[in-house]
């Protein structure tokens, strides 16, 4: 086993150490805090590269190390870490993108007073995310999962003085918590069914054939196989973390956090954790494929949820006016694509899309951050415009990201990864509906990205902020350029002609196929991309918006639909009216219970105590005290009576003495004494 495997734990440990040191640095030591965080990330990146090399040397192996956390007697709880190509690729991606975002933050957060705290939280997040990636035990993964949620809460609510930010952090945490409940239930069920939570354990792991064969029998309620039920429960956690329908409501609100946070957490990494989880436990999710008479297969559910999410996100993104919220809903949509890929049977395609999406979404978010930095945090795209000339590098890189996301063919990685997904969806034997939904979303994606870039960069500046915007400093633009390079270059590793990534991930050699192997489907998707781009240009690019207050062309065309989409399809209102009301009812019930029942009991006990006290006092005063007083006065009276025997007369004393002597003698003699 290569030595890196035994030291794989260092990959999350180094940023964790950096977070610990950062927690202790004082507020004014800004450079030290940033240096510590960057050092941790760069060191971790170096280790990840070493790990990738080791993993690629033998792609099909899952090399793992375990240790016993504590011994229960009947069994032991074991944790460990795992090295395989999936882990290695994602670790490299997280650390690389993370390092670039850290560097970007040096410039973006330069005026913020809580600079040191920001980097401490970023390091904590990176450590937790890497912990999820290297874990070989579902328990360790869950621990890191929760830590990631905590870091997300801390970072979304970084500007906690703003009430919207605090509320958004709370919403994110609670919504993902609801998903995590399902994850925990699945975890417990898995442990109960297989007796282990370790993924790969030399044949005994829960993802290995013995355990899966045991789980793939229909046992649960409704004729579901155990693996299906467990898989769906674990998917609940993934759905929460990855913003799938119906738990997607927290992602747009999470844009209240600083833009580097949005880039790192809500584009590249944390939201991808859900996708990673499903990819990691893919053998478990796919175990029920052999069964034919179960009511539902786990992966079918995943696929449809993914498809719905993809369409939902794209539709809402069309009607948003905040630059970050457009990107947030775009993320929701792309995550839907990844889940779709997982559901239809190719986790490799999902991971490929995850990798490319990480780069291009981070690029887009950092570009948005650069725009905000230059335009003094003006986030409404209706009030921007004309930035193409004022922020050239930002415009160029943003444009590259936009084209990659839209799926402009051949040159950009986004095209290849999306093609892979559509290709696999086309071959799904269960239904073609996800394919259709995916194709619809392709159009919408191209459309709203064109709208975004047109409103933001083209035309004339529509406000003071846009007028006076300037290019960001190099510390912010260099990461943009690097990410743009990655966005373009990453596509190379996954094309059908050279399926390097796929073969390394799957651990077997995949035969190379012609570049245009997709055939009709590829042509169809290219046409759809062109339609989307064209429509966007027609509505927003040809005649850019003249004034900030001018109406949106789409709003004029279909006002009711536009308003509905702009209101995010009223999901928040729906949840508030249903789930919110239920919980408010519970809270009122609990409050009533507390006020009347428990409080009443306590008050009653207090009254009881008071009553006992009164009784005691009365008993003491009237009983004991009076009794003692009476006894005392009696004694005094007796004393007074006795003292009357002290007549003071010597004669009397002597007389008594003599008579007593006589009496004593008589008594003794009569008593028999001698």
Partner 1 sequence: MTPLQGCLLFSTALFCVGLAGALSRSNMILVLLGIELMLNAANLNFIAFWRYLPSPEPAIGVIFAIFSIAVAAAELAVGLALVIAVYRHRRNVRLQDASLLKG
Partner 2 sequence: MNAVLALIALFTLAGAAAALALRNLIHSALLLIASWFGIAAFYLWAGAEFVAFAQVLVYVGAVSMVVLFAVLLTRRSRADLAPTPESRGRAFSGLFAGAAVAAVLGGTLLGSTLNLTPAGANAPPPRLTVRHLGELLMGPQAAAVLVVGVILTVALIGAVVIAAGGRETARREGP
Nearer to partner 1, 174 or 655 (CB): 655
Give dist(CA 209, CA 215) in Å, integer. 10
Q: How far apart are CA 385 and CA 15, in angstroms?
A: 39
Contact segment (CB under 8 A) with partner 1 among 18-26, 452-460, 582-590, 646-654 equals 646-654
Picking from 221, 225, 143, the residue whose alpha carbon sits closest to that of residue 183 is 143
* Structural tokens at position 485: 């390079």
* Distance of alpha carbon 294 from alpha carbon 282, whole angstroms: 19
Cβ distance to partner 2 smaller for residue 584 or 654: 654
46 binds, among partner 1, partner 2, none (CB under 5 to 8 A by kind): none
Rounded least distance, CB 629 to partner 2, Å: 41
- Contact window for partner 1 (CB under 8 A) among 46-54, 79-87, 142-150, 644-652: 644-652
CA distance 614 to 608: 10
Taking the complex as a whole, the smallest distance from the CB of residue 657 to partner 1 amounts, in Å, to 10
| Dihedral class, residue 137 (left if φ above 0, else alpha if ψ from -120 to 50, else beta) | beta
Task: For residue 643, count other CB atoms closer than 10 A to its CB.
Answer: 9
Record the tokens describing residue 84, joined without a space: 């395989």
Contact pick of 645, 671, 673, 674 for partner 1 (by CB under 8 A) = 645
Q: Which of 111, 293, 429, 649 binds partner 1 (CB under 8 A)?
A: 649
The reply to whether 664 sits near partner 1 by the rule CB under 8 A is no
Contact between 665 and partner 1 by CB under 8 A: the answer reads no
CB 449 within 8 A of CB 418: no
Q: How far is the CB of 668 from partner 2 (least distance, A)?
A: 10
User: How remote is the C-alpha of 21 from its chain's centroid?
Assistant: 23
By CB under 8 A, residue 663 contacts partner 1: no
Nearest approach, Cβ of residue 640 and partner 1 (Å) = 8
| Cβ-based nearer residue to partner 2, 612 or 662 | 662
**Cβ neighbours around 251 below 10 Å, total:** 25
Burial class of residue 505 (count of CB atoms within 10 Å of its CB; 0-12, 13-18, 19+): buried
Question: Residue 669 binds what, of partner 2, partner 1, none (CB under 5 to 8 Å, by partner type)?
Answer: partner 2
Contact present, 520 and 444 (Cβ < 8 Å): no
Q: Which is nearer to partner 1, 642 or 670 (CB)?
A: 642
Residue 642 CB, nearest distance to partner 2 (Å)? 22
Q: Check residue 646 for interaction with partner 1 (CB under 8 A).
A: yes
Interacting partner of 644 out of partner 1, partner 2, none (Cβ under 5 to 8 A depending on kind): partner 1
Single residue of 647, 660, 664, 667 touching partner 1 by CB under 8 A? 647
Does 654 help bind partner 1 (rule: CB under 8 A)? yes
Contacts with partner 1: how many residues (CB under 8 A)?
Answer: 13
User: Which spans of this chain sit near partner 2 (rule: CB under 8 A)?
Assistant: 651, 655, 658-659, 661-662, 665-666, 669
Residue 666 interacts, among partner 1, partner 2, none and using kind-specific CB cut-offs from 5 to 8 Å, with: partner 2
Contacts of 50 (CB under 8 A, 6+ apart): 4
* Residue 655 CB, nearest approach to partner 1 (Å): 5
Q: Rounded to an integer, what distance in angstroms lies between the CA atom of residue 156 and that of residue 424?
A: 36
Q: Largest Cα–Cα distance in the chain? A: 148
Q: What is the 3-state secondary structure (H, E, C) of 302-362?
A: HHHHHHHHHHHHHHHHHCCCEHHHHHHHHHHHHHHHHHHHHHHCCHHHHHHHHHHHHHHHH
Q: Please, which residues bridge with residue 341 across strands?
A: none
Which conformational region is residue 208 in: left (phi greater than 0), alpha (psi within -120 to 50 degrees), or beta? beta
User: Is 422 within 8 Å of 435 (Cβ atoms)?
Assistant: yes
Name the minimum Å distance from CB 634 to partner 1: 18
Q: Which does 628 bind (CB under 5 to 8 A by kind): partner 2, partner 1, none?
A: none
Q: How far is Cα 131 from Cα 154, in angstroms, rounded to an integer?
A: 18
Q: Is 637 in the site for partner 1 (CB under 8 A)?
A: no
Does residue 674 touch partner 1 according to CB under 8 A?
Answer: no
Question: Which DSSP category does 579 fall into?
Answer: I
Please identify which residue in 514, 642, 671, 673 interacts with partner 1, judged by CB under 8 A: 642
666 near partner 1 (CB under 8 A): no
3-class DSSP state of 225: strand
Q: Could you say which of partner 2, partner 1, none residue 662 binds, taking C-beta under 5 to 8 angstroms by partner kind?
A: partner 2
Q: Which is nearer to partner 1, 549 or 645 (CB)?
A: 645
Q: Is residue 542 close enough to count as binding partner 1 by CB under 8 A?
A: no
Token pair, residue 393, equals 């590098």
Q: Which is nearer to partner 2, 6 or 662 (CB)?
A: 662
Q: Which does 646 bind (CB under 5 to 8 A by kind): partner 1, partner 2, none?
A: partner 1
Site for partner 1 contains 608 (CB under 8 A): no
What is the contact surface with partner 1 in residues (CB under 8 A)?
A: 642-651, 654-655, 658
């Amino acid at each position: 086993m290569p030595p890196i495997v035994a030291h794989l734990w260092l990959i999350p440990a180094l940023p964790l150490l950096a977070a610990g040191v950062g927690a202790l640095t004082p507020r004014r030591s800004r450079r030290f805090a940033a240096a510590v965080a960057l050092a941790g990330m760069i060191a971790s990146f170096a280790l990840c590269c070493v790990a990738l090399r080791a993993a690629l040397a033998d792609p099909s192996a899952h090399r793992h190390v375990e240790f016993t956390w504590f011994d229960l007697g009947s069994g032991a709880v074991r944790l460990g870490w795992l090295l395989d190509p999936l882990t290695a690729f994602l670790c490299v991606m997280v650390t690389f993108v993370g390092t670039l975002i850290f560097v970007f933050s040096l410039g973006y957060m330069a005026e913020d007073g809580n600079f040191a705290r920001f980097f401490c939280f970023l390091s904590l997040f990176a450590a937790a995310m890497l912990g999820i990636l290297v874990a070989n035990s579902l328990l360790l993964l869950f621990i890191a999962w929760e830590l990631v949620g905590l870091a997300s809460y801390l970072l979304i609510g970084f500007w906690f003085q703003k009430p919207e930010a605090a509320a958004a952090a709370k919403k994110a945490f609670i919504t993902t918590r609801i998903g995590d409940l399902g994850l925990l239930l699945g975890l417990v069920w898995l442990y109960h069914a297989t007796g282990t939570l370790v993924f790969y354990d030399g044949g005994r792991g829960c993802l290995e054939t013995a355990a899966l064969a045991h789980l793939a029998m229909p046992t649960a309620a409704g004729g579901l196989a155990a693996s299906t039920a467990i898989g769906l429960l674990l998917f609940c956690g993934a759905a929460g973390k990855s913003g799938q329908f119906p738990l997607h409501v927290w992602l747009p609100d999470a844009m209240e956090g600083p833009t580097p946070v949005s880039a790192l957490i809500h584009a590249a990494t944390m939201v991808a954790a859900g996708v990673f989880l499903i990819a990691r436990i893919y053998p478990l999710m796919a175990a029920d494929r052999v069964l034919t008479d179960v009511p539902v297969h786990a992966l079918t559910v995943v696929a449809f949820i993914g498809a719905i999410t993809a369409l939902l996100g794209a539709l809402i993104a069309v009607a948003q006016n905040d630059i970050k919220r457009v990107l947030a809903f775009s993320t929701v949509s792309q995550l839907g694509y990844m889940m779709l890929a997982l559901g239809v049977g190719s986790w490799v395609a999902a991971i490929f899309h995850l990798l490319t999406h990480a780069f291009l979404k981070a690029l887009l978010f950092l570009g948005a951050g650069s725009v905000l930095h230059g335009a003094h945090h003006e986030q409404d795209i209706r009030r921007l415009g004309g930035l193409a000339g004022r922020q050239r590098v930002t415009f160029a890189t943003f444009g590259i990201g936009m084209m990659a996301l839209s799926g402009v063919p051949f040159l950009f990685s986004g095209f290849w990864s999306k093609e892979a997904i559509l290709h696999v969806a086309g071959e799904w034997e269960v239904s073609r509906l996800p394919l259709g939904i995916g194709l619809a979303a392709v159009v919408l994606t191209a459309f709203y990205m064109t709208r975004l870039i047109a409103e933001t960069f083209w035309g004339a500046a529509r406000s003071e902020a846009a007028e006076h915007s300037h290019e960001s400093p190099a510390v912010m633009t260099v990461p943009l350029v690097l990410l743009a390079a990655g966005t373009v270059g990453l596509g190379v590793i996954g094309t059908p002609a050279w399926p390097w990534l796929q073969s390394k991930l799957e651990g077997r050699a995949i035969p190379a196929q012609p570049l245009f192997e997709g055939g009709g489907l590829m042509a169809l998707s290219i046409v759809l991309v062109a339609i989307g781009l064209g429509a966007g240009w027609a509505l927003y690019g040809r005649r850019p918006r003249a004034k900030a207050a001018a109406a949106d062309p789409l709003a004029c065309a279909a006002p009711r639909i536009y308003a509905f989409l702009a209101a995010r399809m009223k999901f928040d209102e729906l949840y508030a009216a249903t789930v919110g009301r239920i919980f408010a009812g519970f809270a009122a019930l609990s409050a009533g219970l507390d006020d009347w029942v428990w409080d009443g009991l306590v008050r009653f006990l207090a009254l009881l105590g008071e009553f006992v006290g009164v009784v005691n006092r009365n008993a003491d005063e009237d009983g004991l005290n009076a009794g003692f007083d009476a006894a005392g006065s009696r004694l005094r009276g007796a004393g007074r009576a006795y003292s009357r025997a002290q007549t003071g007369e010597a004669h009397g004393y002597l007389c008594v003495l003599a008579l007593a002597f006589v009496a004593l003698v008589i008594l003794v003699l009569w008593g028999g004494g001698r």
